[in-house]
Amino acid sequence: MATKILIVDDHPLVRQGLIGLLSTQDDFSVCGEASGIAEAQQVADAEHPDVAIIDITLEDGSGIELIKDFHTSFPQMKLLVLSMHDELVFAERALRAGAVGYVNKQEVSRSIVRAIREILNGKMYLSQRATERMVQLAVGSKAHAGKSPVERLTDREIEVFQMIGQGLTTRQIAGKLGLSPKTVDAHRERIKQRLELKNVTELTKHAVQWVLENH
């Protein structure tokens, strides 16, 4: 029986490219595609895929949150992240959430099939760079002292930071995340402190730059 695969990405062209790539494998079958969390949950409930390929940034929220939900609701499903975001910032978060692999979109054509086969065999799939980073974290290495300050942010703070960089207002962020504007403002303050930024202008500048570099 073919391995059933769900593709969750907010870019239609990426989804179509993946469908074309995976269709070359006789033992793979794409059972559904989705652009956001709600749609992905519906497809998963109906199809019970064996593997879900999930982007970090989705139409209606964070792929990290979807991974957490799938990890709880479908414990047998293998969760693989496919994203443009920096592995050194997001790979650890994705693994903590329940993913078993992380592929950068720049390497998708030569890595995605191998990654799926690896995780189906009970292994974890990461790039060599991300693997070295995980080892450093595991042994408490201080060799990576120059890591990105964004790594200091929590998963929720990363979401808020990203939306600031996308130009969303406090009220828009609150609406997307189901939070109060007051809570979003509190996140803004903590982000400024963690990144050692002086004011809102600096925060916005850094957030916009980070979004540009990670998309």
Handedness of CA 141, 194, 105, 25 (dihedral sign): positive
Strand 57-58 to 61-62 pairing? antiparallel
For residues 93 and 145, give the distance between their C-alpha atoms in angstroms, rounded to a whole number. Answer: 18
Q: Give the per-residue pLDDT at 191.
A: 92
| Candidate CATH numbers 2.40.37.10, 1.10.10.10, 3.40.50.1860, 3.40.50.300; the one for domain 149-213 | 1.10.10.10
Which residues of the chain are in CATH 1.10.10.10 domains? 149-213
Which tens digits make up the pLDDT trace of 137-183? 666 654 444 456 788 888 889 889 988 988 889 999 998 888 899 99
Query: Is residue 123 left, alpha or beta, with left meaning phi > 0 and alpha meaning psi from -120 to 50?
Result: beta
Which tens digits make up the pLDDT trace of 56-66? 988 888 899 99
For the sheet containing 3-8, what is the strand order? 28-34, 3-8, 51-54, 78-83, 101-104
More confident residue, 15 or 134: 15
Q: Among residues of the chain, what percentage have pLDDT more than 70?
A: 92
pTM (2 decimals)? 0.73
Q: Beta-carbon neighbour count of residue 169 at 10 Å?
A: 12
Q: Give the per-residue pLDDT at 84.
A: 83
Residue 130's pLDDT band, with cuts at 50, 70 and 90, is confident
Phi, psi of 187, deg, nearest 5: -65, -40
Average pLDDT, the chain: 88
Residue 213 in this model has a pLDDT that exceeds 70? yes
Residues contacting residue 6 through CB under 8 Å, at least 6 positions apart: 30, 31, 32, 33, 34, 40, 43, 44, 47, 49, 51, 52, 53
Which residues of the chain are in CATH 3.40.50.2300 domains? 3-139
Looking at the domain covering 3-139, what would its CATH class be? alpha beta
